[in-house]
């Protein structure tokens, strides 16, 4: 890709906002499986169909989206994606008012179509917006902004949908009235989302972004299917997204089932799970950036740890006042973040090495969740989020390494199509939870993380001449 404009700060700023938007939308839908289960009195497998409706859009639309980027460019692809998100968000209003689960699924798919366009355009744009050596740093930074949104979304669900409804921790005590009351609260956050994304689309139309070429100068058709590191990277994305979404989709009901925590409180712990990804990605952006000033680097690390303390205390608060903040949870979250940063040093700022270490730790945490209970299981399942943090940006940067021109857009479409793992793995985990128990479902993400370990150690280095 050729850089056509020197104003890259503007490009990073706009795409940082784009990452925030689709991060919020994605996590909001994933966490909505808990209220949808309550609204329609579904099994866990049926509730996970909501996540599947979202992520099934990736194999259907990612490769066509890559071709669309090549035809109309990054800016118009992002605008179209934002408008689709707006349409999908508005359909949730009648879906909740009826209420209709099939309409929920339709609205989810349309919203997801917009997110796919955003993601296919955003990842290669950010990768190509500067030196290849710092691509992981830029992706970690934008993914960190994405994760700020993913932490906010479950908290909003806790406050806007569950708070004050008195939904019991014991699922057998649920009544149809609980479900209908939850349904009546669904439209407001989605209408708000629609207004925001349409407004951003209008603003984006008025801005001049840096232009990056996506077509080969000689007009040659290039195929990336011949590159094993791209295909194996796509399967790593399948495993990562499937594990991340499966964990998140089950957390609320897992904590409700195994620890007797009511859905409102459990949703706040789901927010910490996503907040772990935020904290870890900020660490990744710092460590992969090549900052030579050690004082500056570690001052930024301290700032991120303070963010972990404050965000953990805030999202688990029992009310809106400062006195109600849960600083015990905030301190534990900060200590886990310290451990995350220490383990990150083993990676020595190298994308593959850090990915391998984090994948092993995440697999261990998933297995501990399976074989323990109580507070230990609570914090191991939540802590997985910290070790998910750098996986997507590192897998993506390793998967598109050494590609240029048309190959980059094509590889992005292929890799993003394998985000369909978010449609497959949660259904598998939901089926296991229904057949046995929630705890055994976490064996599945452990297997996924072990494949990611293989990709980090060996798969990414398999090349063709």
Tokens coding 219: 């007009």
Does a structural domain hold residue 3? no
Residue with tokens 């994606």: 81
- Domain of residue 355, residue span: 8-211+224-461
Q: Is the pLDDT of residue 445 over 90?
A: yes
- Give the residue with greater pLDDT, 74 vs 342: 342
pLDDT of amino acid 40: 84
CB 446 within 8 Å of CB 366:
yes
Confidence of residue 221 (pLDDT cuts 50, 70, 90): low
Does a structural domain hold residue 183? yes
Rounded to 5 degrees, what angle do the CA atoms 179, 185, 188 make? Answer: 155
What's the pLDDT tens digit per position in 268-325? 888 888 888 888 888 877 876 667 778 888 899 999 999 999 988 987 887 667 788 9
Percent of the chain with pLDDT over 90: 25
pLDDT of amino acid 4: 44
Element (H, E) at 284: helix 263-287
In whole angstroms, give the CA distance from residue 390 to residue 383. 14
Q: Which of 15-24, 207-216, 250-259 has the lowest mean pLDDT?
A: 207-216
In whole angstroms, give the CA distance from residue 442 to residue 371. 10
The chain-wide mean pLDDT, for the chain, equals: 81
CB 216 within 8 Å of CB 70:
no
Q: Which residues are CB-contacts of 436 (< 8 A; sequence separation ≥ 6)?
A: none
Q: Which of 36, 120, 24 is nearest to 80 (CA)?
A: 120
Tokens coding 411: 């590889």
Does a structural domain hold residue 24? yes
**How many domains does the chain divide into?**
1
Does a structural domain hold residue 158? yes
Q: Which ranges constitute the DSSP H helices of 98-175? A: 101-128, 135-157
Does a structural domain hold residue 219? no
Using omega within 30 degrees of 0 as the cis cutoff, is the peptide bond preceding 444 cis? Answer: no
> What DSSP character marks residue 132?
G
Q: Is the pLDDT of residue 5 over 50?
A: no
CB 93 within 8 Å of CB 67:
no
- Look up the pTM and report it: 0.75
Q: Which of 93-107, 132-146, 187-201 has the lowest mean pLDDT?
A: 132-146
> What DSSP character marks residue 215?
S
pLDDT of amino acid 86: 92
Tokens coding 10: 């503007």
What's the pLDDT tens digit per position in 13-43? 777 777 787 778 887 787 777 778 877 888 8
pLDDT of amino acid 165: 62
Distance of CA 397 to the CA centre of its chain: 16
183: domain CATH number is 1.20.1250.20
pLDDT of amino acid 169: 57
Tokens coding 335: 């200590």
Does a structural domain hold residue 1? no
Confidence of residue 429 (pLDDT cuts 50, 70, 90): very high
Does a structural domain hold residue 181? yes
Q: Which of 68-82, 134-148, 251-265, 347-361 has the lowest mean pLDDT?
A: 134-148
pLDDT of amino acid 107: 92
In whole angstroms, give the CA distance from residue 132 to residue 3. 13
Does a structural domain hold residue 396? yes
Rounded to 5 degrees, what angle do the CA atoms 27, 387, 460 make? Answer: 100
pLDDT of amino acid 423: 86
In degrees rounded to 5, what are phi and psi of residue 212?
A: -120, 125
pLDDT of amino acid 51: 84
pLDDT of amino acid 6: 46
Q: Which of 215, 173, 150, 192 is nearest to 19 (CA)?
A: 150
Characterise 164 by phi-psi region: left (phi > 0), alpha (psi -120 to 50), beta (else): left
In whole angstroms, give the CA distance from residue 68 to residue 117. 9
In whole angstroms, give the CA distance from residue 239 to residue 312. 27
């Amino acid at each position: 890709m050729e850089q056509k404009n020197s104003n890259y700060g503007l490009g990073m700023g706009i795409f940082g906002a784009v990452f925030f938007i689709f991060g919020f939308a994605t996590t909001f839908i994933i966490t909505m499986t808990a209220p949808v289960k309550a609204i329609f009195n579904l099994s866990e497998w049926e509730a996970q169909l909501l996540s599947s409706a979202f992520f099934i859009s990736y194999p259907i639309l990612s490769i066509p989206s890559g071709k669309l980027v090549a035809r109309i460019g990054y800016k118009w692809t992002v605008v179209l994606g934002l408008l689709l998100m707006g349409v999908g968000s508005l359909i949730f209003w009648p879906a909740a008012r009826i209420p209709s689960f099939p309409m929920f699924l339709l609205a989810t798919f349309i919203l997801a179509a917009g997110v796919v366009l955003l993601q296919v355009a955003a990842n290669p744009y950010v990768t190509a917006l500067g030196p290849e050596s710092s691509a992981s740093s830029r992706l970690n930074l934008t993914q960190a902004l994405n994760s700020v949104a993913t932490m906010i979304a479950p908290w909003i669900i806790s406050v806007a949908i569950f708070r004050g409804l008195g939904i019991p921790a014991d699922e057998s005590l649920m009544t149809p009235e609980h479900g209908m009351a939850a349904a009546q609260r669904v439209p407001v956050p989605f209408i708000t989302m629609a207004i925001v994304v349409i407004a951003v689309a209008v603003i984006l139309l008025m801005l001049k972004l840096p232009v990056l070429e996506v077509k080969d100068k000689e007009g040659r058709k290039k195929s990336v299917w011949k590159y094993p590191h791209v295909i194996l990277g796509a399967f790593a994305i399948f495993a990562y997204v499937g594990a991340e979404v499966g964990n998140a989709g089950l957390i609320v009901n897992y904590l409700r089932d195994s620890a007797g925590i009511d859905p409102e409180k459990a949703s706040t712990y789901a927010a910490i799970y996503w907040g772990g990804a935020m904290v870890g990605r900020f660490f990744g952006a710092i460590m992969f950036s090549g900052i030579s000033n050690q004082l500056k680097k570690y001052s930024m690390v301290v700032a991120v740890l303070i963010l972990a303390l404050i965000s953990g205390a805030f999202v688990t608060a029992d009310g809106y006042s400062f006195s109600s903040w849960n600083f015990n949870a905030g301190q534990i979250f900060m200590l886990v973040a310290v451990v995350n940063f220490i383990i990150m040093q083993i990676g020595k700022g190298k994308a593959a090495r850090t990915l391998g270490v984090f994948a092993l730790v995440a697999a261990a945490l998933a297995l501990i969740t399976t074989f323990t209970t109580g507070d230990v299981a609570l914090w191991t399942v939540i802590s997985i989020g910290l070790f998910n943090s750098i996986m997507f940006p590192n897998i993506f940067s390793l998967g598109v390494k050494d590609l240029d021109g048309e190959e980059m857009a094509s590889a992005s479409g292929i890799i993003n199509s394998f985000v369909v793992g978010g449609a497959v793995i949660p259904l598998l985990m939901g089926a296991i939870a229904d057949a046995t128990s929630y705890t055994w479902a976490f064996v599945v993400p452990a297997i996924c993380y072990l494949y990611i370990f293989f990709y980090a150690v060996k798969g990414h280095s398999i090349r063709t001449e």
